[in-house]
Structure 1
Amino acid sequence: MADATVHARRIACVFGQALQELDAAIDELQPTLVIAVGQAGGRAEITPERVAINIDDGRICDNAGCQPIDEPVVAGAPAAYFSTLPIKAIVRDLRTAGVPASVSNSAGTFVCNHLFFGLMHRLAMRGPAGVRGGFVHIPFLPEQAARWPGQPSMALAAVVDALRVAVGTSLAVHQDLRETGGALH
């Protein structure tokens, strides 16, 4: 990752607007790799997501008060897209670095999945060509978990280190590992 230039953008946790902001960032930066990051309170591990589904089904309202129910992220688009990141290699490298990690098979149906699906649809339909992308969920930070007794958390420094590993692995590994990463439920 020493030669990589990393650009970060804070994307609104708002259905629709998130995809507009993502498109603008991709158009501006012309990246070779896009890793979207979102927070999944209740998860204790860094979890690269395997699949984005074409459904918005908000259990709660987004930050603009919108709560779509059973609506497609993109009308007429495929039902799902798989991440093009080496998710199993990322998990392997995170675990080797001492960071709890596992493959996730569901990004949910809220704005994280919305953004993930929108990213993968954008890359599949309009590129830029050859750009790989995906989504990684992170746990609560300790100060957030303190407001929700019993919730797991991860220190900010550990999250930052984990994201560095994810970027480095994604740049170095173009063919993912073929090893178990599945789940029983």
Structure 2
Amino acid sequence: MEKVLLTGFESFGKEKINPSGIVAKKMHGRNIGGRKIISHVLPVTYDCGKIIHREIEDIDPQYIVSLGLAGKRNQITLERVAINMTSENKKIFEDGPDAYFSLLPLEDILKELHKNNIPARISNFAGTYICNYVMYYTLHYLRYNDLDIKAGFIHIPYIPEQVLDRDLPSMSLETIERGIEIAVRAL
């Protein structure tokens, strides 16, 4: 059976909850389309790259799908590009290329999400914080270790309880979870 390493994040900053970590935990151990989900909730620190490195060695997945929160977005966004830059204007890897492209079949995933009435789009900018770092670190690790693992990153919106007193978009946890399940099936 194929294995999918599904990562999400712990809460951070002023956010008491992080739906990416909630979805990852809820999906742990599931069999989706003949693929076993193995989840790990990461800290929102630059140490998370080393954790992913260990998980890849321990699990030997065929796919890696990393999730993160993009609170101002109103759709599930499939990230196409990770750049070699942190929010502190430092390179993630000095010897790394300027950018990596997702290894996931983004167009196929998007088509399936839309077919199932899940608001989604492809994004060309994963930001410069930890989400971009995780995507870049993972793709760099795979390339330099010559590993044939399909990997990429998906941003998800806030869930309603996070925006009760804020004028920001949200999506139900159930819709997000269904969207990630559809994405895993489309791999």
User: Could you say whether these structures have the same fold, taking a TM-score greater than 0.5 normalized by the shorter chain as the test?
Assistant: yes
Residue 89 of structure 1 deviates from its aligned partner by: 1.3
Q: In the alignment, which residue of structure 1 is the partner of 2:7?
A: none
Residue 107 of structure 1 deviates from its aligned partner by: 0.2
Q: In the alignment, which residue of structure 2 is the partner of 1:88?
A: 107
AA in 2 matched with 1:112: C
Q: In the alignment, which residue of structure 1 is the partner of 2:172?
A: 155
Q: In the alignment, which residue of structure 2 is the partner of 1:101?
A: 120
Q: In the alignment, which residue of structure 2 is the partner of 1:52?
A: 82
* Equivalent residues in 2 for 1:1-185, closer than 5 Å: 1-15=32-46, 17-57=47-87, 69-127=88-146, 129-147=147-165, 149-170=166-187
Counterpart-to-counterpart distance in 1, 2:156 and 2:42? 15
Runs of 5+ consecutive residues of structure 2 not aligned to the other structure = 1-31
Residue 2 of structure 1 deviates from its aligned partner by: 2.8
Q: In the alignment, which residue of structure 1 is the partner of 2:19?
A: none
TM-score (norm 2): 0.81
Percent of paired sites with the same residue: 31
Residue 153 of structure 1 deviates from its aligned partner by: 0.6
Counterpart-to-counterpart distance in 2, 1:168 and 1:118? 24
Residue 27 of structure 1 deviates from its aligned partner by: 1.0
Counterpart-to-counterpart distance in 2, 1:28 and 1:132? 17
SS at match of 2:151: strand
Runs of 5+ consecutive residues of structure 1 not aligned to the other structure = 58-68, 171-185
Tell me the matched-pair count. Answer: 156
AA in 2 matched with 1:164: E
AA in 1 matched with 2:158: F
Cα deviation code 1:21-46 (max 9, x no counterpart) = 11111111100000010010010000
TM-score (norm 1): 0.82
Residue 20 of structure 1 deviates from its aligned partner by: 0.9
Quick one: higher RCO (CA 8 Å, sep 6+), 1 or 2? 1
Residue 140 of structure 1 deviates from its aligned partner by: 0.4
Counterpart-to-counterpart distance in 2, 1:166 and 1:42? 21
AA in 1 matched with 2:112: D
Structure 1 outlier segments of 4+, above 4 Å: none
Q: Which has the higher strand share?
A: 2
Counterpart-to-counterpart distance in 1, 2:171 and 2:54? 30
AA in 2 matched with 1:167: V
Counterpart-to-counterpart distance in 2, 1:28 and 1:121? 18
Counterpart-to-counterpart distance in 1, 2:177 and 2:157? 12
Cα deviation code 1:129-185 (max 9, x no counterpart) = 3211000000001111224x2111111111111001111111xxxxxxxxxxxxxxx
Residue 51 of structure 1 deviates from its aligned partner by: 0.4
Cα deviation code 1:51-95 (max 9, x no counterpart) = 0000001xxxxxxxxxxx110111111110000101111111101
